[in-house]
Chains A and B, each alone.
Chain A
Amino acid sequence: MENIITRDKDTETYELGKYAKSFGLSLAITNLISALLVVLKEIQEDSVLAWMKAATGHHWVTHGVLNLILFLFFGWLLARPNEGKGVTINPGFLVLSIVTSLIANVLIIAGFYAF
């Protein structure tokens, strides 16, 4: 049977690209900040929630815009260290950070609205 996988094991690398590392870490950071912002805006309705409503007309739109800005900012910032090669991070730890941040995001948000 013909082997359709042309991957060459000898040329394989285990080093992620700088943007994969920087935006991956940025994703994890933004997920956590986003969940904390949910709690903050709900318990600070007169200040934080009111400002978020005033900024774009709807707090959820402002929340989405802030998330996007944070994601792009941290992604850009974390790509700069090591003479532009990006932040040093173990690929396994990056995966763990992303998975953990998503689980924490869901638990914080669901936990807040459940109780």
Chain B
Amino acid sequence: MENLLLLIHPATGILAMLAAVWVFVDAFNAAEGSQGRIKTLSLFCAGLMWLTYLIAGYWYVVFYGPDKAIIKAGPWPFGHNFFMEVKEHVFLALILLATYLPIAARDIAHNKAARRLTLWVAGLIVPTSLAMEGAGAIISLAVRVGLLKSAAGG
């Protein structure tokens, strides 16, 4: 169960990021015909980011304890002390950014300011999401090197 949750949360996170990429690209030439699509995809981005938050949050609160102990006792304690701490707290800003995207993208077809705002918000979601994915990879690797060390009797 916990391994499934561990796999699902970066997948929903990536899908949310891809929705933000779509919104970003579509917003460049937003017009009457694309207004509905942008609205749907920005809602999709927000919904998927909340799903990521709920799945990752449940896993973090319920199952992360043993992994944390392995990381802190292993050769890469910064996997928790820096990367997990930063990831879990910066994600709280990312979830609000994604929640704001559908609000920013309202009436984008006839409003230059809304287009500009949407471009910035979607544009901020993408690198922040990538940073979350990267931090997750480092945390996973920190568990792995911790386990290798204990298997080697270190």
Contacts and interface: CB of A to CB of B under 8 A. Distances in A.
Nearest to A12: B112
A91 B116 contact: yes
A94 interface: yes
Contact of B117 (A16, A71, A105): A16
Interface of A: 4-8, 11-17, 19-20, 23-24, 27, 30-31, 34-35, 38, 57-58, 60-61, 63-64, 67-68, 71, 91-92, 94-95, 98-99, 102, 105-106, 109-110, 113-114
Interface residues of B, number: 39
Given A20-B106, A95-B120, A63 B89 contact: yes
B100 A24 contact: yes
Contacts of A105: 90, 93
A107 to B, nearest CB: 10
Interface in B99-143: 99-100, 103-104, 106-107, 109-114, 116-117, 120-121, 124, 128
B40 interface: no
Contacts of B57: 60-61, 64
Contacts of B121: 98
Contacts of B60: 60
B86 A113 contact: yes
Interface of chain A: mostly helix, strand, loop or mixed: helix
B85 interface: yes
A24 B85 contact: no
A61 B61 contact: yes
A17 B107 contact: yes
Nearest to B88: A60
Nearest to A16: B113
